[in-house]
Amino acid sequence: MLPSCNMLLFFLIWITAYGNTLTISSTVNITDLDFEIFTGLTINSSCENTHQCFGKLVCFNGQCQCSENHIWNGTNCNGEKTFKSKCKQTAECETTLFCIYGTCQCAHMNYWNRNNCVTKKIFNDTCVNSNECRGKLFCQNGECQCPIDLFWNGNKCIFKHFEWQSCSSSMECAENLECRESLCQCSETEYWDNSKCSSRKSVNDACMKEGECGNTLYCARSVCQCASSDYWTGSTCSIKKDEHALCNSSLECKAKLQCKTNHCVCCEQDFWNGQLCERKRNITAQCQESVQCQDTLHCIRGTCQCDVTEYWTQTACAKNMCAIEQCLNGGKCQITEKRHTCVCTDGYLGEKCQYGDGREKYFLLIFHQTYSTPSPRILPTVNRMVKLSVFYFENNKNITVTLNSADNHYTLDSSVLMTDGLHQAGAEIHSNVPITLYGFLFVRDQSEGFFVLPTRYASTEYLIPSFTPYSVSYRSVFCLSSVYANTVIRIHFKIKDGTIEYDNMQYSNNQTLTLVLNKYTTFQISHTTDLTGTLIITSKPVVVVSGNIYNFINGRANVQPFIEMVLPTNQLDNVYIIPHLNYRLENTVRVIAVNDTNVALKNGNSRTRNVLKSRNFLDYLHTTISYVSSASDVMVHIYPHELSNAHGDAFMMTIPGINQYLYDYDFMVPTDFESFISITVPTDAVDGFVLDGNFVNLKNIFSISDGEHRFSSFSIPISSGPHHITHRDKTRFGVWIYGNYTSYEAYGYPAGMAFKT
Ligand SMILES: *[C@@H]1O[C@H](CO)[C@@H](O)[C@H](O)[C@H]1NC(C)=O
Ligand SMILES: *[C@@H]1O[C@H](CO)[C@@H](O)[C@H](O)[C@H]1NC(C)=O
Ligand SMILES: *[C@@H]1O[C@H](CO)[C@@H](O)[C@H](O)[C@H]1NC(C)=O
Ligand SMILES: *[C@@H]1O[C@H](CO)[C@@H](O)[C@H](O)[C@H]1NC(C)=O
Ligand SMILES: *[C@@H]1O[C@H](CO)[C@@H](O)[C@H](O)[C@H]1NC(C)=O
Ligand SMILES: *[C@@H]1O[C@H](CO)[C@@H](O)[C@H](O)[C@H]1NC(C)=O
Ligand SMILES: *[C@@H]1O[C@H](CO)[C@@H](O)[C@H](O)[C@H]1NC(C)=O
Ligand SMILES: *[C@@H]1O[C@H](CO)[C@@H](O)[C@H](O)[C@H]1NC(C)=O
Ligand SMILES: CC(=O)N[C@H]1CO[C@H](CO)[C@@H](O)[C@@H]1O
Ligand SMILES: CC(=O)N[C@H]1CO[C@H](CO)[C@@H](O)[C@@H]1O
């Protein structure tokens, strides 16, 4: 039953397996032991030595007991069963093992490490083989890892999550899903193609559903494309651009907007209503702003209309000059065709009726001193009958005079004649109808006349025109009279040489004489040298008469007074045509500058440019026709020279500029002279003059052109008395009246002129 060899084998195995030191005496005689089994003491029996104990019991602490790692099975001591041994109960198995299904095994969650059961390893623990790893963990690269489809949830490997399942880290998500916003999803640039995340498709790629197309793209008709409100920038869909946005192609622009010159714009006939290009609206249509209205229309008070400065021509708005610049002086604006015209009231002319025609009712008349004692006259232009009142400064007498067309002049009281200093010499003329008035000094051999400046145009700044006295006994002279009381007069002398004495004071060139003038007071200054350029500045309007007491130009014929009423500096012009004067082929033209200016002259074929300083003048010799133009207004006079055959003296005559011409003139020619009128007119209108109802036959026409200006001039003889001249084409022209008389006599004055109002 107990073969000793078996026993020994057992011992050997036991020793090999456990390596422990045996407490059993090696001297035991197996035969003895066998014998003892049947006779030995059982467990817990007192003993003195092992021999006494039954079977494999050993005597330990005076009792028969199983040796270590042996257990009592009720009859004998048996060695404990190791891992994977068959067993009936756990007690048979070594300490950490359990008898499970008849085999000693480690408990659940434990594994056998060759000595005992230890707790299985969890995720990331180092391992040698997969048994060591808990649950579905397996040993990979020396660490417990979940299988590829699983992840470690802290406790065990569980299946990874698919799209849209919750997660806390991307490890929890299957495939190349990533954990975003606690959900497993593909990256932004990818989509889930049922098994993995794939890159999203680009524009024009085939697609089956929405998410397959890249950001901003839509899957429409199985192709990735931008929404209809978008365009493809090359990398993304961007919303189509509104009006005015920068663009490179019309595809980038919304609705019907087109890309023109790199901007999204509607076509010309359209406007952008915020959503689309809409046809611009026609006149009277409703609107919110002007862009909604057709080309020239504006949105005014909710409807498309022409601007207030414009009018509707049935197809467009045209500038309504009437609305922009009203006609002046009561003129009525008329629109005919596409032009506006001012229809001026009587007495006015010019595009805006800005000029008065110089026919007025009030005149202050003064005469500067002349050679002898002439008969002072007025020559009013009288069509039918005129009632004048003549108020003399000297005696305050107001005389009423009735004249009719047979009366060529009215002779004034000699109290109007002047000498140097302060006087009450002059007359105020009042007419019941507007007239043109000339002043005339008549004395055989010394007559001269002038056009009277209507009081309405009297002003506060004058430059003195005169002619260089031929020698010391010939004087430059001017006189003035104030229109109102208490007028401060400042005379800034320009004296060619020497000084002027007044009120015990000596005034030399550049000095200023100041005096206060009362109404109906006259003041005269004269000098033996030229006073041309003397500047008069006054606090209230004054009238000025100027020239020479008498003068020669070449020393031929006889001396003769030069007299003209001076135009204020605000009634000058900058383009002048100097007329042809019959018999007079030698004339000095004097141009006086108000301000520093450039003056161009054309005389015959010669053309010159001159810089003229303020208050300086230039003289040139005029023969038939000449032309003066300047940057700013200048004053121009002509001084026809004496006739060598002693049939006419030199005289002085004012030249109005081309902007001062009238459409028609009523004028008076003095008696007792051989007289002419000279006319200047645009060359294309040289024909068509109507003098006293008859067409004028022309010969000897002289023409000049300079740039835009082409003018002609001619002279015709004229009889004494009143005349009327006009042009059938309503053309503005200049007229001068002049004449000579056998032996040493001449006169000249402009027939009339327009004044700036
Ligand atoms: C032996 O004695 C021990 C302790 O006194 C006891 O636990 C055990 O049951 C006894 N064995 C048997 C078989 O009586
Ligand atoms: C496992 O180990 C890796 C690398 O050492 C570490 O990043 C990770 O956090 C570990 N995981 C856990 C659950 O401990
Ligand atoms: C148009 O094209 C030019 C050149 O490619 C580029 O520099 C510019 O930014 C583009 N403009 C727009 C509005 O896309
Ligand atoms: C605007 O309306 C006018 C009539 O009021 C018509 O003659 C004209 O042709 C219209 N213009 C356009 C562009 O339709
Ligand atoms: C002279 O008489 C006329 C007509 O009665 C009048 O209009 C004018 O004012 C008078 N002149 C003066 C200065 O009294
Ligand atoms: C006159 O005055 C002006 C400016 O004050 C000056 O330039 C000029 O030299 C003066 N002329 C004379 C002659 O004193
Ligand atoms: C001269 O110049 C002044 C100041 O600039 C100006 O007011 C005036 O109108 C000018 N006069 C002429 C005739 O040009
Ligand atoms: C005017 O002058 C011319 C030219 O010298 C001369 O022929 C004519 O007789 C003069 N007229 C009179 C009325 O003296
Ligand atoms: C110590 C002792 O008693 N040894 C004996 C064991 O048994 C053999 C024979 O069976 C004897 O020869 C020994 O003397
Ligand atoms: C009751 C029981 O099972 N006893 C056994 C104890 O062990 C020995 C062998 O060592 C067996 O022979 C017994 O039958």
> How far, in Å, from the CA of 33 to the mean position of ligand 9?
11
Nearest to 464 by CA among 403, 527, 519: 527
Q: Confidence band (pLDDT; 50, 70, 90) for 92? A: confident
> Which of 221-235, 452-466, 474-488 is predicted least confidently?
221-235
595 lines ligand 7 (CB under 6 A): yes
- Residue-averaged pLDDT of the chain: 89
Ligand closest to the CA atom of residue 497: 6
Q: Is the pLDDT confidence value at 247 over 90?
A: yes
More confident residue, 107 or 2: 107
- pLDDT, one tens digit per residue, over 142-162 is 999 999 899 998 888 999 999
Q: Which atom of ligand 9 is closest in space to residue 27's alpha carbon? A: 1
Phi, psi of 522 (to 5 degrees): -125, 145
Model confidence at 4, in pLDDT bands (50, 70, 90)? Answer: very low
pLDDT at 24: 43
**What is the pTM for the complete model shown?**
0.61
Q: Is 92 helix (H, G, I), strand (E, B) or coil?
A: helix
C-alpha of residue 103 to centroid of ligand 10, in Å: 19
pLDDT band at 341 (very low <50, low <70, confident <90, very high): confident
Please report the pLDDT score of residue 265 as a whole number: 92
Q: How far apart are CA 292 and CA 285, in angstroms?
A: 9
Q: What is the mean pLDDT of residues 426-450?
A: 95
List the helix and strand counts (H, then E) for the chain: 3, 67
Residue 390 vs residues 428, 453, 724: alpha-carbon distances, Å:
6, 16, 25
Q: Which of 282, 292, 313 to mutate to test the pocket of ligand 4 (most atoms within 8 A of CB)?
A: 282
Ligand 6 centre distance from Cα of residue 209 (Å): 97
Q: Which ligand is nearest to the CA of 253?
A: 3
Residue nearest to atom 8 of ligand 8 (CA): 647
Q: How confident is the model at residue 435 (pLDDT cuts 50, 70, 90)?
A: very high
Specify the DSSP element, H or E, that contains 324.
helix 321-324
Q: What angle do CA 443, 378, 344 make, to 5 degrees?
A: 145
Point out the ligand 9 atom lying closest to the alpha carbon of residue 29: 6
Q: What's the confidence (pLDDT) of residue 445?
A: 86
Residues with CB under 6 A from ligand 9: 29, 31
Quote the tokens at residue 115. 């000595």
CA distance 338 to 499: 61
pLDDT-wise least confident of 253-257, 410-414, 676-680 = 253-257
Residue 488's nearest CA partner among 530, 526, 517, 447 is: 517
Distance 610 CA to ligand 4 centre (A): 56
Distance 367 CA to ligand 5 centre (A): 21
Confidence of residue 405 (pLDDT cuts 50, 70, 90): confident
Ligand nearest to the Cα of 65, by number? 1
572 against 352, higher pLDDT: 572
Please work out whether the CB of residue 740 comes within 6 Å of at least one atom of ligand 8: yes
Determine whether the shortest distance from the Cβ of 635 to ligand 7 is under 6 A.
no
| Closest protein CA for atom 2 of ligand 3 | 248
Give distance in angstroms: CA of 29 to centre of ligand 9: 7
Q: Which atom of ligand 1 is nearest to the CA of 65?
A: 1
pLDDT band of 40, cuts 50, 70, 90: confident
Q: Mean pLDDT across the stretch 283-294?
A: 92
Backbone phi and psi for residue 20, each to the nearest 5 degrees, phi listed first: -85, 160
- Please, are residues 124 and 138 in contact by the beta-carbon 8 Å criterion? no
pLDDT of 400: 96
CA of 746 to the centre of ligand 7 (A): 35
Ligand 4 center–CA 278 separation, angstroms = 16
pLDDT digits 0-9 by tens, 612-643:
999 999 999 999 999 999 999 999 999 999 98
Using DSSP, state whether 591 is helix, strand or coil: strand
When pLDDT is averaged across residues 377-396 and rounded to a whole number, the result is: 91
Ligand 10 in reach of 76 Cβ (< 6 A)? yes
pLDDT range class, residue 321, cuts 50, 70, 90 = low
Q: Which of 84-93, 559-568, 653-662 has the lowest mean pLDDT?
A: 84-93
For ligand 6, atom 14: residue with the closest CA: 510
Query: What is the model's pLDDT at position 324?
Result: 67
User: Using 50, 70 and 90 to split pLDDT, how confident is the model at 23?
Assistant: very low
Tell whether ligand 5 has an atom less than 6 A from the beta carbon of residue 428: yes
Residue 272 reports pLDDT greater than 90: no
Ligand nearest to the CA of 430: 5
- Cα separation of 110 and 98, whole Å? 11
What is the 449 CA–ligand 3 centroid distance (Å)?
Answer: 81
**694 C-beta neighbours (distance < 10 Å), count:** 8
Nearest CA to ligand 4 atom 13: 282
Strands (E) in 332-426, as ranges, are 332-336, 339-343, 348-349, 355-356, 360-365, 375-380, 385-392, 398-404, 410-411, 421-423
Q: Say yes or no to pLDDT of 604 above 70.
A: yes
Read off the pLDDT of residues 646-688 as tens digits, 9 standing for 90 and up: 788 999 999 999 999 999 999 999 998 999 999 999 999 999 9
Q: Which pLDDT belongs to residue 338?
A: 61
Q: What is the 3-state secondary structure (H, E, C) of 103-168?
A: EEEECCCEEECCCCEEECECCCCECCCHHHECCCCEEECCEEECCCCEEECCCCEEECECCCCECC
Which ligand sits closest to the CA of 43?
1
Instruction: Report whether residue 247 contacts ligand 3, using a CB cutoff of 6 Å.
Output: yes
> What pLDDT shows up at residue 10?
42
Report how far ligand 7's centroid is from the alpha carbon of 596 (Å).
9
- Indicate which ligand has the atom closest to the C-alpha of 316: 4
**Contact, 402 vs 367, CB < 8 A?**
no
Which residue, by CA, sits nearest to atom 14 of ligand 8? 742
Residue 32 has pLDDT above 80, yes or no: no
Residue 333 contacts residue 341 (beta carbons within 8 Å): yes
Kindly tell me if the per-residue pLDDT of 234 is higher than 90.
no
Q: Which amino acid is at 604?
A: G
Distance 8 CA to ligand 10 centre (A): 18
Q: Which residue has the higher pLDDT, 42 or 748?
A: 748
Q: What is the pLDDT of residue 309?
A: 77
Ligand 5 centre from 608 Cα, in Å?
51
Q: Where in 160-211 does DSSP place strands (E)?
A: 178-180, 183-185, 190-192, 197-199
Lowest mean pLDDT among 331-340, 513-522, 699-708: 331-340
Percent of the chain whose pLDDT exceeds 90: 65
- Which ligand number lies closest to the CA of residue 584? 8
Q: Ligand 3, closest atom to CA 247?
A: 13
Amino acid letter, 178: E
Angstrom distances, CA of residue 608 to CA of 288, 460, 599, 614, 623: 59, 32, 8, 19, 16
Distances 714 to 129, 294, 677 between C-alpha atoms, Å: 135, 54, 8
Report for 19-28, 124-133, 166-175, 514-523: range of highest mean pLDDT: 514-523
Q: Are strands 70-72 and 183-185 parallel, antiparallel or unpaired?
A: unpaired
The tens digit of pLDDT for each residue in 456-474 reads 999 999 999 999 999 888 9
Query: Does 462 contact ligand 2 (Cβ within 6 A)?
Result: no
Question: What confidence tier does 323 reach under pLDDT thresholds 50, 70, 90?
Answer: low
